Amino acid sequence: MPELPEVETIARELKKRIIGLKIIDVWADKDKPFRQSGGLKKFLKEVENKKIVDVRRRAKFVVIDLEGPRSIFIHQKISGHLLYGKWKKEKAGWKSIISGPLKNDLKNKYLRIIFFLNNDYQVALSDLRRFGKMMLVGDEEIENLKELKKLGPEPLEISFGQFKNLFTKKKGRLKPVLMDPYFIAGIGNIYSDEILWDAGYHPLARVEKLKENDLKKIFNSMIKVLNKAIKYQGDSMDDYRLPSGGKGHYQEIQNAYQQTGKKCKKKDGGIIQRLKVASRSAHFCPVHQKI
């Protein structure tokens, strides 16, 4: 599932390309992703000929601000990612007329929704598992959406003081706590492993036992890892791709996530191990991430 760095990259890359353009049509193979807006027909009527004024990220969601009082709120879910290109319809489905990864990478071939823009380009959602959805939302209603209302703060927008306060009275294991969107938004399986590897904490450490000094290290690693991942344009080990169809590069520098059996890059003699926690896998070095 795309996490903060991946969604941030998608929003930034799309923003460069589509601001000021108008949506002239929308195609979708099913009505389901638009159910909360009363179906595709109704959705189309609202967005048709509207100019795009901004593209931004909120938690793991992409928000496309349209002229007028509404925005498109996009949940890419597990396997969805937004692409920017040109496709034409053939018998077997939509085919990219731009060569390269939009045409060749299998992850970019599951087009479910296409926005046609007035520069002859399109924005498409490739979504293998079909959980992605889109909603039209009033600009003032966005923060009150049930998807956002109870979410924790944005990790790159809080001070250490605010981060520390989150842990007051908080109990549980470190990795699931960091992955809990109601605790802090945008961190999932990949970056929780990477942050804890960097900071040197065991994924099962109890948060109620952490001291200020420990939280400071975790906070610093969180900022460092997330910013680095944005710089590397996210992690394409799984389904996520850039709007150009190409891969992000964070998978090339992963230290813990999916590195089971490899030597710890801190050169401490540790071998990365995997364990199950809250039905997810955690990857860590048993030498420098002791409980």
The residues annotated as belonging to the active site are: 2-3, 60, 280
Q: What is the phi/psi pair of residue 225, to 5°?
A: -65, -45
Task: Answer yes or no whether residue 285 interacts with Zn ion by CB under 5 A.
Answer: yes
Residues between 99 and 158 that touch Zn ion (CB under 5 A): none
Q: How far is the CB of 157 from Zn ion (least distance, A)?
A: 30
* The token pair that represents 241 in the structure block: 């791709």
Task: Answer yes or no whether residue 287 interacts with Zn ion by CB under 5 A.
Answer: yes
Q: How far is the CB of 193 from Zn ion (least distance, A)?
A: 13
CA distances to 112, 155, 173, 236, 238 from 128, in Å: 9, 29, 32, 15, 12
CA distances to 2, 9, 207, 254, 278 from 21, in Å: 26, 20, 47, 37, 44
Q: What is the phi/psi pair of residue 13, to 5°?
A: -70, -40
Task: Answer yes or no whether residue 75 interacts with Zn ion by CB under 5 A.
Answer: no
Q: How far is the CB of 25 from Zn ion (least distance, A)?
A: 53
Task: Answer yes or no whether residue 54 interacts with Zn ion by CB under 5 A.
Answer: no
Task: Answer yes or no whether residue 172 interacts with Zn ion by CB under 5 A.
Answer: no
String of contacts with Zn ion for each residue 252-281, x by CB under 5 A: ------------x-x-x-x-----------
The count of C-alpha atoms lying within 13 angstroms of the C-alpha of 114, restricted to the half-sphere facing its C-beta, is 20
> Between 70 and 283, whose beta carbon lies closer to Zn ion?
283
Considering CB under 5 A, how many residues would be counted as binding Zn ion? Answer: 7
> Between 35 and 224, whose beta carbon lies closer to Zn ion?
224
Of 15, 32, 280, 288, the residue at the interface with Zn ion (CB under 5 A) is: 288
Task: Answer yes or no whether residue 286 interacts with Zn ion by CB under 5 A.
Answer: no
> Between 10 and 199, whose beta carbon lies closer to Zn ion?
199
Collect all residues with Cβ–Cβ distance below 8 Å to 74 and sequence separation of at least 6: 61, 62, 63, 64, 82, 125, 132, 133, 134
Secondary structure, 3-state, 199-220: HCCCCCCEHHHCCHHHHHHHHH
> Between 36 and 258, whose beta carbon lies closer to Zn ion?
258
- The owner of tokens 């690693």 is 221
Identify the H or E element spanning 178.
Answer: helix 174-179
Task: Answer yes or no whether residue 82 interacts with Zn ion by CB under 5 A.
Answer: no
> Between 11 and 285, whose beta carbon lies closer to Zn ion?
285
Q: How far is the CB of 220 from Zn ion (least distance, A)?
A: 18
- Scanning 19-71, the segments in alpha helix (DSSP H) are 40-47
Q: How far is the CB of 289 from Zn ion (least distance, A)?
A: 7
Q: How far is the CB of 290 from Zn ion (least distance, A)?
A: 10
> Between 172 and 286, whose beta carbon lies closer to Zn ion?
286
Q: What does the radius of gyration of the chain's CA atoms come to, in whole angstroms? A: 20
- Contact residues toward Zn ion (CB under 5 A) are 264, 266, 268, 270, 285, 287-288
